[in-house]
Amino acid sequence: MIRSIQTLLVPIPTIREHKLACTVMREQLMVLVHIQTNDGYEGWGEATTIGGLSYAEESPHSIKTNIDTYFTPLLIKERPTSTAQAMHLLNKNINGNRFAKCAIETALLDIEGKRLGVPISELLGGRVRDQLEVAWTLASGNTDTDIIEAKQVIEAKRHRIFKLKIGSRSIAKDVEHVIAIKQALPDCRITVDLNQAWTELDAMKGIKLLQDGGVDLIEQPISMRNPAGLKRLKQHFDVAIMADEIVQDPQNAFYLAANHCADVFAVKINQAGGLKNACLIGQMAHLAGIELYGGTMLEGPIGTAASAHVFSTYPSINFDTELFGPLLLTDDILTKPLDYNNFGLTVPTGPGLGIEVNADKVYDYAERNLSRASANKNNLKINMNA
């Protein structure tokens, strides 16, 4: 049974600015959940978002507050004895909060796997692959810088698939940027991600130019509130159209699959509301003939390992993954980093998540974040009283 649940905000700077249509990231504030049981096991989960509330309806601070205020008292009081019971309890009593639920489920599956001596992938139906190819996102915003960065990671055999974040500039400038990179990397697959930045009319113009320029995949070009528009784009263009932000829980994914709104689904464990939900979305997509792409919320190594376990179980994942989150951070919170080699990520094979978290480092970062928050609060009081 659960003895304690700690929710920690862990800030780690990124190696460079990461520019999206909706925000610019210079730091990733990870939300980590540390669960300990009465029989001596511990598990870790992660509920990281992209850019706080600029991307999704949950932010690191709201996730921590809701877990501490609602999730933890409920789980401690009701004392569920399995992951399934715990998630049923949470889903029955707490609406939404998909990111927070994902972190709890991940930590509980980590414990369950350790107790049984098997990787999480085996609890999810069993893996069919041990290696996942990983795309790298070029998001400096500067064409020459992005080309140099891409050639460096190709030379190091780290990545040969690239995603470009666009949508914050004019269509002409964005297309010029993308085509220049595609021409510099003719043998590499290129995806562009709009993060919903274009209107449907903009998308009709922009996608035509990108398709003619040899781009391989267009990710969420228009608002997630316009599934019919996404379907129209899918029917109009030959280049594959991928749904991302619009793919949320299994019920939502079922509607999208039944209506053939996209060629590809980007699946993210946090966005799906947990690992088992992400598996269910993958199964529905497979049955509907929709291709799969292993997405990321730019999680650190805990969420990345959890995602890898899920994606290793997919019957097919023809558009590969973008599980590069830990490589974007300036520090690692594992005692042994995840194994990135030969353009991909090796799925951990140990019990549970198959990783060992450096708890001392995690709690040190969390303490630093508390000190920073306290200092900011004091400065605000001083400014208000001035």
- pLDDT, one tens digit per residue, over 184-198 is 999 999 999 999 999
pLDDT at residue 130 greater than cutoff 60? yes
**C-alpha Rg value of the chain to the nearest Å:** 21
Does 277 reside within a domain? yes
Write out pLDDT tens, residues 321-339.
999 999 999 999 999 999 9
pLDDT for the residue numbered 51 = 72
Task: Report the CATH number that the domain containing residue 337 is assigned in CATH.
Answer: 3.20.20.120
Q: Is residue 382 part of a domain?
A: no
Distances from the Cα of 101 to the Cα of 96, 98, 106, 315, angstroms: 9, 5, 9, 25
Regarding whether 308 and 247 lie in a shared domain, the answer is yes
154 exposure class (CB count in 10 Å sphere: 0-12, 13-18, 19+): middle
> Is 315 contained in some domain?
yes
pLDDT at 56: 73
Same-domain status, 252 and 191: yes
For the chain, what percent of residues have pLDDT higher than 90? 89
Q: Which CATH number do you get for residue 34?
A: 3.30.390.10
Tokens of 342: 């030969």
Residue 213 in tokens: 């320029």
Q: Is residue 92 domain-shared with residue 181, that is, in the same domain?
A: no
User: End-to-end alpha-carbon separation of the chain, Å?
Assistant: 51
Q: Specify whether 213 is located in the same domain as 250.
A: yes
Burial class (CB in 10 A: 0-12, 13-18, 19+), 176: middle
Q: Which helix (H) or strand (E) holds 345?
A: strand 344-346
- Is the pLDDT at 65 greater than 90, yes or no? yes
- 162 and 292 inside one domain: yes
Evaluate if residue 311 carries a pLDDT over 70. yes
**Looking at the predicted structure, is the pLDDT value of residue 384 above 60?**
no
Same domain, 114 and 132: no
State whether 157 and 113 are in the same domain: no
131 and 105 within one domain: no
Residue 305 belongs to a domain:
yes
Q: Are residues 157 and 205 in the same domain?
A: yes
Tell me: the pLDDT tens digits for 155-177?
Answer: 999 999 999 999 989 999 999 99
Max intra-chain CA distance, the chain: 63
> Average of pLDDT values for 225-238?
98
Label residue 44 left, alpha or beta by phi (over 0 means left) and psi (-120 to 50 means alpha): beta
pLDDT in tens, 25-48: 889 999 999 999 999 999 999 999
112: domain range? 2-119
Collect all residues with Cβ–Cβ distance below 8 Å to 107 and sequence separation of at least 6.
33, 34, 35, 43, 44, 45
The average pLDDT across 368-376 equals 80
Residues annotated as catalytic (active site), given as ranges: 165
Q: Percent of the chain scored above 70 by pLDDT?
A: 96
242: how many CB neighbours lie within 10 A of its CB? 28
Q: Which of 66, 89, 119 is the last residue of a domain?
A: 119
Strands across the sheet with 240-243, in order?
A: 136-138, 161-165, 189-193, 217-219, 240-243, 264-267, 291-294
Cβ atoms 34, 5 nearer than 8 A? yes
Phi/psi at 144 (5° precision): -65, -40
Q: Is 171 part of a structural domain of the chain?
A: yes
Q: Which residue has the higher pLDDT, 147 or 18?
A: 147
In this structure, are 188 and 337 located in the same domain? yes
Domain count, the chain: 2
Q: Do the beta carbons of residue 326 and residue 297 sit within 8 Å? A: no
Does residue 103 sit in the same domain as residue 143?
no
Averaged pLDDT, 88-94:
98
Whether 163 and 64 map to the same domain: the answer is: no
Q: How far apart are CA 76 and CA 18, in angstroms?
A: 39
237 belongs to a structural domain: yes
**Axis-axis angle for helices 275-288, 301-311 (nearest 10):** 40
Say if 371 falls within a structural domain.
no
Residue 166 forms part of a structural domain: yes
**Residue after which a domain boundary falls, among 119, 142, 168:** 119
pTM: 0.94
